[in-house]
């Protein structure tokens, strides 16, 4: 690593050796409000942390003297080949990590030959994502909104744009309580938009529909020819229901510990889901994957492939910081503003656009 005048010295000194280095880097580099949003778990974050700790309790039974001179990490998910069994889980608000947002993520996934699940809550539109990496392998993640016309339109748009799977997230009828977001009064900066939900809809109509049930899978089925993958399954009972309702895939997930604090680590839930499914549909997993050996443990316990959420966001932040390093500017398009005199109790956050900030630095 080299030193660029003007770039914070504490960031220049970091060597990137593993995903945790990218996490540590992102924590130092990102505006606090963005870091807090990405890193958050629900309540005490016990499920978020358990996702990672659970891997450390699982040990291998390694066998020796096998010919491992020829290695091939390729696999297929729902019939499409990926170059290694790690895809990118859906996460929202990528522009908080870099101005190109989900377009960068789509390009990175394509370059790595893997699957990117684009979130409903993307800060780039589905068209922009599709155009950024033509021919890339992508699924679209859907939240069902109170106004079903909004969801229907998104599903049909994703199919028309060449997305190859529809991921229905089942574990977010309401948003979990993420304490730092509450403390920060987190909201998207005004220059960032939920591009897929722009349009003539009232806020209430695009809010999540908490009345969704298993029967809504039949409704989804009637809208699209795409395979349906259900995300957020943690028990054998729900795995059986998912199969019976005709989904093509299951993602064992607890939303990175951002929803029900106290839910099991996904690697611990995987075994009962795999046993219940008995090979009838593909089973994937996300949550806490931070090393190759985590991937191996999940595959050994029956997952066809895994997805990473936060680490992809740390990667975006790192790449973005390297772009700015070349011009010696630290990107802070979201700044915290000290409370004004007499308003000390009122923690205020102010957003300015990246361009304005760069002008200021100039």
User: Which listed residue (10, 94, 145, 255) is catalytic?
Assistant: 255
Rounded to the nearest whole angstrom, what is the least distance from the CB of residue 117 to ligand FNR in the complex?
7
**Catalytic site residue 10?**
no
Rounded to the nearest whole angstrom, what is the least distance from the CB of residue 357 to ligand FNR in the complex?
23
When the beta carbons of 89 and 234 are compared against ligand FNR, the nearer one is 89
Rounded to the nearest whole angstrom, what is the least distance from the CB of residue 38 to ligand FNR in the complex?
4
When the beta carbons of 53 and 160 are compared against ligand FNR, the nearer one is 53
Binding residues vs ligand FNR (CB under 6 A) = 38, 51, 89-92, 119, 121, 141, 169, 231, 253, 255-256, 258, 286-289, 308-310
Rounded to the nearest whole angstrom, what is the least distance from the CB of residue 68 to ligand FNR in the complex?
28
Q: What is the 3-state secondary structure (H, E, C) of the chain?
A: CCCCCCCCHHHHCCCCCCHHHHHHHHHHHCCHHHHHHHHCCCCCCHHHHHHHHHHHHCCCCCCCCCCCCCCCCCEEECCEEECCCEEECCCCCHHHCCCCCHHHHHHHHHHHCCCEEECCCCCCCHHHHHHHCCCCCEEEEECCECCHHHHHHHHHHHHHCCCCCEEEECCCCCCCCCHHHHHHCCCCCCCCCCHHHCCCCCCCCCCECCCCCCCHHHHHHHHCCCCEEEEEECCHHHHHHHHHCCCCEEEECCHHHCCCCCCCCHHHHHHHHHHHHCCCCEEEEECCCCCHHHHHHHHHCCCCEEEECHHHHHHHHHHHHHHHHCCCCCCCCEEECCCCCCCCCCCCEEECCHHHHHHHHC
Residue nearest ligand FNR (C-beta atom): 309
When the beta carbons of 7 and 37 are compared against ligand FNR, the nearer one is 37
When the beta carbons of 189 and 256 are compared against ligand FNR, the nearer one is 256
When the beta carbons of 52 and 354 are compared against ligand FNR, the nearer one is 52
Residues with catalytic function: 255
């Amino acid at each position: 690593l080299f030193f660029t005048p003007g770039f914070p010295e504490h960031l220049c000194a970091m060597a990137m050796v593993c995903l945790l280095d990218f996490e540590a880097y992102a924590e130092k580099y990102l505006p606090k409000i963005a870091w807090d949003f990405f890193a958050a778990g629900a309540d005490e974050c016990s499920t978020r942390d358990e996702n990672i700790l659970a891997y450390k309790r699982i040990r291998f039974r390694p066998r020796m003297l096998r010919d491992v001179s020829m290695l091939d990490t390729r696999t297929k998910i729902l019939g499409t080949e990926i170059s290694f069994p790690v895809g990118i889980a859906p996460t929202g608000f990528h522009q908080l990590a870099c101005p190109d947002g989900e377009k960068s993520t789509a390009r990175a996934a394509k370059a790595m030959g893997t699957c990117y699940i684009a979130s409903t809550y993307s800060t780039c539109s589905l068209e922009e994502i599709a155009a950024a990496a033509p021919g890339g392998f992508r699924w679209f993640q859907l939240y069902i909104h109170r106004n079903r016309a909004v969801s229907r339109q998104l599903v049909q748009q994703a199919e028309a744009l060449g997305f190859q799977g529809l991921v229905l997230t089942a574990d977010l009828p309401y948003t979990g309580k993420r304490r730092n977001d509450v403390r920060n009064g987190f909201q998207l900066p005004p220059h960032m938009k939920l591009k897929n939900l722009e349009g003539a809809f009232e806020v209430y109509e695009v809010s999540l529909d908490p009345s969704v049930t298993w029967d809504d899978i039949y409704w989804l089925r009637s809208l699209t020819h795409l395979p349906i993958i259900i995300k957020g399954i943690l028990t054998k009972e729900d795995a059986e229901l998912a199969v019976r309702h005709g989904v093509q895939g299951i993602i064992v997930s607890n939303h990175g510990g951002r929803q029900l604090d106290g839910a099991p680590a996904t690697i611990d839930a995987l075994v009962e889901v795999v046993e219940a499914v008995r090979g009838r549909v593909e089973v994937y997993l996300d949550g806490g994957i931070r090393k190759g050996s985590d991937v191996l443990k999940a595959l050994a316990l029956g997952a066809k492939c895994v997805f990473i959420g936060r680490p992809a966001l740390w990667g975006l932040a790192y790449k973005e910081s390297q772009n700015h390093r070349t011009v010696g500017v630290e990107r802070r398009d979201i700044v915290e503003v000290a409370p004004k005199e007499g308003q000390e109790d009122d923690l205020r956050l102010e957003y300015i656009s990246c361009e304005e900030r760069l002008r200021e630095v100039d």
